[in-house]
Amino acid sequence: MISLRNFKNFIVDTVGLMVHGSRLYYAWVGFLLLLIAVGGIAYLNQLNSGLIVTSMRDQVSWGFYIGNFTFLVGVAAASIMLVIPAYIYDWAPIKEITILGEMLAVTALIMCLGFVMVDIGRPDRFWHIMPLVGRLNWPQSMLAWDVIVLNLYLLLNWFVVTYLLFSSYVEKHYNKKIVLPLVLLSIPMAVSIHTVTAYLYNGLASRPFWNSAILAPRFLASAFCSGPAVLLILLQVLRRTTRLKITDAAIFKIAELMAYTMGFNLFLTAAESFKELYSGTEHMVYFQYLLFGLEKNGVHYNTLVPFAWASIITGFIAFLLFLIPKTRMNWTTLNIGCVLIYASVYIEKGMGLIIPGLTPDALGEIYVYRPSFTEVAVAAGIFSLGALVFTVMLKAAVPMMLGEFTITRGRKASEPVEADPIQA
């Protein structure tokens, strides 16, 4: 039965599942908590001293935090790479695992909001940006749009995940009339979060590197490479460590879709590079800084060059590995490909997007930005927080997805004394 009382039990049981586990589970959670603590201490220091403990300055006013934010919006959007084959093409093997994509989206969005929170100078004024309570400059500001769509997408995914698990917990089949429209809605929503995030940069005429019409398409194409790469590795881990049934066919199908998006992503990158480099206007300096470095007053600035090429080369190798059926269906080469494409997009949509957008700065100055220890520690803390959220979500979700843990069976099995199935 779907009732408030059962929902309370569901929450209690979910928390119960999250806090009880094997030694390995505790060790992993403990490790993540430790990293979160390190990030937390670094963040407290940043709160005390101000953002001056980062390497950001007026010239490069956004850096590692916003780079990670942008990358993670892509990961969040990528869950629809599971939804589309599952629900649009009604492809059963993937349908059972779409909830994993939704949980990944929730996790990625929590990290996104974390990166925004640590980047703002006045986190105590967070309420100013909250719709209705604060004073949202909507529809003018793209950041106002982003606040809205990111939070809606977070709520949507959170609701679907909770609803599916709760249905399974109370031993009822989920109501298709509720789930299907929401899942279908998540497709345009996922496109919108990454499009709006791209527009955030795209709309700034002051930064020619971002002021390109194909920025949003490039965001989407790269997101549909990196997000599924995380999922592919995750699915393999899960089918080894849990009793979840994830077929080879499901994994290879996602890999095949990724081959298309990776090819498209490389094509868009090439199109952008051609336009900038061949026309060679003054707007080329940012691309030049990224790919070849710049020389000014006898000093050669080439901090980004090795990263930029690493991104292009790993992206290209990954594309080949995914394109050729033989290497795509080989677990070793498939996983190498996943790691390579993840690295490629992490560079491209993180530092490779933000830093050349701001260097040289609006007055032509070259400020060499490298993240400070604080920025790396805080980022590690946020990634660990994400990993922790995902871990505990999986910990509770997997037995429920499998139908092993329900309101009757679960309570009996784990807490036989308190269990009262008759009332439930």
Partner 1 sequence: MMDHQPMHPQDDGGGASACGSRREFLGTAVAAVATALTGCGKLSKEEFLQHNFRELSKDEIQTIIARLESEYKAKYGKTVKVNNEAAMPGVIFGYALDLSRCIGCRRCVHACVKENNQSRDPEIQWIRVLEMDKEEGVNLQHAEQYYNPEEVPREGHFYMPVQCQQCKKPPCVKVCPVGATWKEKDGIVVVDYNWCIGCRYCMAACPYGARHFNWGEPTMKSADVNPETHYLGNRPRPKGVVEKCTFCIQRTRKGLYPACVEICPTGSRKFGNLLDAKSEIRQVLENKRVFKFKEDLNTQPTFFYFYGV
Residues of the shown chain interacting with partner 1 in the complex, contacts defined by CB under 8 A:
44, 46-52, 54, 56-59, 61-62, 116, 119-126, 128-129, 134-144, 147, 200-201, 203-207, 282, 285, 296-297, 357-358, 360-365
Element (H, E) at 392: helix 373-401
Min dist. Cβ of residue 120 to partner 1 (A): 5
Identify whether 139 is preceded by a cis peptide bond (ω within 30 of 0): yes
Q: Which is nearer to partner 1, 245 or 300 (CB)?
A: 300
Min dist. Cβ of residue 213 to partner 1 (A): 17
Min dist. Cβ of residue 190 to partner 1 (A): 22
User: How far, in Å, CA of 318 to CA of 257, rounded?
Assistant: 13
Q: Please, is 258 exposed, middle or buried when counting C-beta atoms within 10 Å of its C-beta (0-12, 13-18, 19+)?
A: buried
Residue 335 neighbours by CB distance under 10 Å: 15
Element (H, E) at 196: helix 176-202
Q: Which residues, 6 or more positions from 230, have their beta carbon under 8 angstroms from its beta carbon?
A: 75, 78, 104, 338, 342
Min dist. Cβ of residue 63 to partner 1 (A): 10
Q: Which is nearer to partner 1, 207 or 412 (CB)?
A: 207
Q: Which is nearer to partner 1, 30 or 364 (CB)?
A: 364
Q: Which is nearer to partner 1, 337 or 357 (CB)?
A: 357
Q: Which is nearer to partner 1, 364 or 416 (CB)?
A: 364
User: How far, in Å, CA of 312 to CA of 308, rounded?
Assistant: 6
At 312, list the tokens.
Answer: 């292009």
User: How far, in Å, CA of 257 to CA of 262, rounded?
Assistant: 9
Min dist. Cβ of residue 137 to partner 1 (A): 4
Min dist. Cβ of residue 153 to partner 1 (A): 17
- State whether residue 289 is helix, strand or coil: helix
User: How far, in Å, CA of 74 to CA of 153, rounded?
Assistant: 13
DSSP structure class, residue 408: T
User: How far, in Å, CA of 116 to CA of 69, rounded?
Assistant: 7
Per-residue exposure over 276-292, b if at least 16 CB sit within 10 Å of its own CB, e if not: beeeeeebbbbbbbbbe
Q: Please, is 320 exposed, middle or buried when counting C-beta atoms within 10 Å of its C-beta (0-12, 13-18, 19+)?
A: middle
User: How far, in Å, CA of 26 to CA of 3, rounded?
Assistant: 32
Min dist. Cβ of residue 56 to partner 1 (A): 7
- State whether residue 269 is helix, strand or coil: helix
Q: Which is nearer to partner 1, 13 or 375 (CB)?
A: 375
Q: Which is nearer to partner 1, 1 or 363 (CB)?
A: 363
Q: Which residues, 6 or more positions from 392, have their beta carbon under 8 angstroms from its beta carbon?
A: 18, 29
Residue 236 neighbours by CB distance under 10 Å: 17
Q: Which is nearer to partner 1, 142 or 161 (CB)?
A: 142
Q: Which is nearer to partner 1, 61 or 335 (CB)?
A: 61
Min dist. Cβ of residue 350 to partner 1 (A): 16
**Cα–Cα nearest to 5, from 176, 13, 158:** 13
User: How far, in Å, CA of 287 to CA of 272, rounded?
Assistant: 10
Q: Which is nearer to partner 1, 206 or 241 (CB)?
A: 206
Min dist. Cβ of residue 57 to partner 1 (A): 7
Min dist. Cβ of residue 116 to partner 1 (A): 8
